[in-house]
């Protein structure tokens, strides 16, 4: 049975997130005084036709490093879910 | 003597490919050849230019998908053999994604897509791309990008400085490297860098858009001229 790899890509803290900043300003303009900050990332779902969890995890990590994120300025997190 | 061939790579979404072709063709003795991203043949090119545009719609990250185009395998090998590779704007982004150059380009500091004239200086005039530029000469060359904010970790910046790999910097009209003259937030006002071997250059400004009198500036011609002078000599 295949797995769904749920990958979140976020900008490293040291990188200025201009989109997040714009959203943060908009939220404050809407009157949400307790909003502290906002950061924007990407959420990617990849279906991997692989029955072994370990192998699906290996592929998920490899594609995250190789293509889905740029390690110079981004971090990623990976979660795997078995599709029943 | 037959013309020297210069390859211009065309990705889906490239939009400065023909401007670049036009600029190359304006030099006697040099012939541009367009190289489709899906091909593997560099058609005898002696130098490769990755042009500006929005390869693959800039999906995921600018340059990230183009980096895996079939032709890039050949371009990376070509660069590895020491042949000149020039990346302009989106081409610079592709070079960074492919690992031929170090660092990354993130969104412009002020959130805006910038399409305007800038002033830059070739702070390293000893590369094969800048040999005809005096280091104190202020060049008027336009930019057009949303993601041109150069970033690299401290150790990479130190290494770039140590090995004289920072080639172009944004300056004011007098040639001073100031915060006000930095259009996009790039670290150290970096507008262009070269690899350690000196044969791969990436820059955000568009020299091909400053290569003809009618375009308002001829200052970009020196880059092509320097490169072609080098090609004619080897």
Note the pLDDT tens digit of each residue in B188-227.
999 999 999 999 999 999 999 999 999 999 999 999 999 9
Residue B204 and residue B135 in contact, taking contact as beta carbons nearer than 8 Å: no
The residue behind tokens 């002078």 is B229
Q: What is the pLDDT of residue B2?
A: 86
Q: How much is the pLDDT for A1? A: 79
Cβ-nearest to A70 among B65, B97, B110: B97
Which residues of chain B have a CB within 8 Å of the CB of A15?
Answer: 106, 151
Smallest CA-to-CA distance from B66 within B14, B20, B7, B113 is with B14
- Nearest beta carbon to residue B103 from set A17, A18, A72: A72
CATH of the domain at B198: 3.40.50.880
Chain A: residues touching B (Cβ < 8 Å): 11, 15-19, 21-22, 42, 67-68, 70, 72-73
Number of domains in chain B: 1
The residues spanned by each domain of chain A are 3-15+41-82
Is 70 exceeded by the pLDDT of residue B1? Answer: no
* Mean pLDDT in residue range B88-117: 96
Chain B residue whose CA is closest to A41: B60
Angle at alpha carbon of residue B37, lines to B32 and B223, rounded to 5°: 40
Asked whether B104 and B157 are in contact (CB, 8 A), the reply is no
Cβ–Cβ below 8 Å for B111 and A16: no
pTM of the predicted model as reported, rounded to 2 decimal places: 0.94
In sequence order, the 6+-apart residues with CB closer than 8 A to the CB of B45 are B5, B6, B7, B33, B35, B78
If we measure between CA atoms, which residue out of B172, B191, B114 comes closest to residue B145?
Answer: B114
What is the pLDDT of chain B when averaged over all its residues?
Answer: 96
Q: Which chain B residue shows the shortest CA-CA distance from A21? A: B111
Catalytic residues of B, by residue number, are 89, 206, 208
Model pLDDT for residues B8-48, shown as the tens digit of each residue: 999 999 999 999 999 999 999 999 999 999 999 999 999 99
Cβ of B107 and A19 within 8 Å? yes
- Mean pLDDT score, B69-85: 98
CATH 3.30.1280.10 fits A3-15+41-82, yes or no: yes
pLDDT in tens, B144-171: 999 999 999 999 999 999 999 999 999 9
| Predicted ipTM of the assembly | 0.86
Sign for the CA dihedral angle at B13, B22, B39, B71 comes to negative
CA dist B34 and B86 (Å) reads 14
CA B208 to CA B142: how far, in whole Å?
9
Is B64 close to A67, i.e. CB distance below 8 A? Answer: yes
Residue of B104, B185, B88 whose CA lies nearest to B144: B88
């Amino acid at each position: 049975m295949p797995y769904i790899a749920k990958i979140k890509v976020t900008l490293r803290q040291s990188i200025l997130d201009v989109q997040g900043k714009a959203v943060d300003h908009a939220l404050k303009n809407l009157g949400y005084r307790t909003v502290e900050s906002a950061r924007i990332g990407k959420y990617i779902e990849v279906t991997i036709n692989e029955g072994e969890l370990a192998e699906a995890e290996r592929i998920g990590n490899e594609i995250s490093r190789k293509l889905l994120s740029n390690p110079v300025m981004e971090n990623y997190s990976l979660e795997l879910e078995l599709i029943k | 003597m037959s013309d020297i061939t210069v390859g211009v790579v065309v990705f889906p979404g490239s939009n400065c490919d023909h401007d670049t072709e036009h600029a190359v063709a304006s030099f006697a003795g040099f012939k541009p050849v367009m190289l489709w991203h899906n091909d593997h043949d560099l058609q005898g090119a002696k130098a490769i230019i990755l042009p500006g545009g929005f390869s693959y719609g800039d999906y995921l990250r600018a340059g990230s998908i183009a980096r895996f185009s079939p032709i890039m395998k050949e371009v990376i090998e070509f660069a590895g053999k020491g042949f000149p590779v020039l990346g302009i704007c989106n081409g610079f982004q592709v070079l960074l994604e492919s690992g031929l150059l170090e660092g990354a380009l993130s969104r412009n500091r002020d959130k805006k897509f910038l399409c305007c004239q800038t002033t830059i200086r070739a702070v390293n005039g000893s590369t094969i791309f800048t040999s005809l530029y005096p280091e104190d000469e202020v060049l008027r060359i336009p930019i057009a990008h949303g993601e041109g904010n150069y970033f690299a970790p401290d150790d990479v910046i130190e290494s770039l400085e140590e090995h004289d790999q920072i080639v172009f910097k944004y300056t004011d009209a007098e040639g001073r490297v100031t915060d006000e003259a930095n259009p996009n937030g790039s670290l150290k006002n970096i507008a262009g860098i070269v690899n350690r071997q000196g044969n791969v250059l990436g820059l955000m400004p568009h020299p091909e858009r400053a290569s003809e009198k009618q375009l308002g500036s001829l200052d970009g011609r020196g880059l092509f001229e320097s490169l072609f002078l080098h090609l004619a000599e080897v």
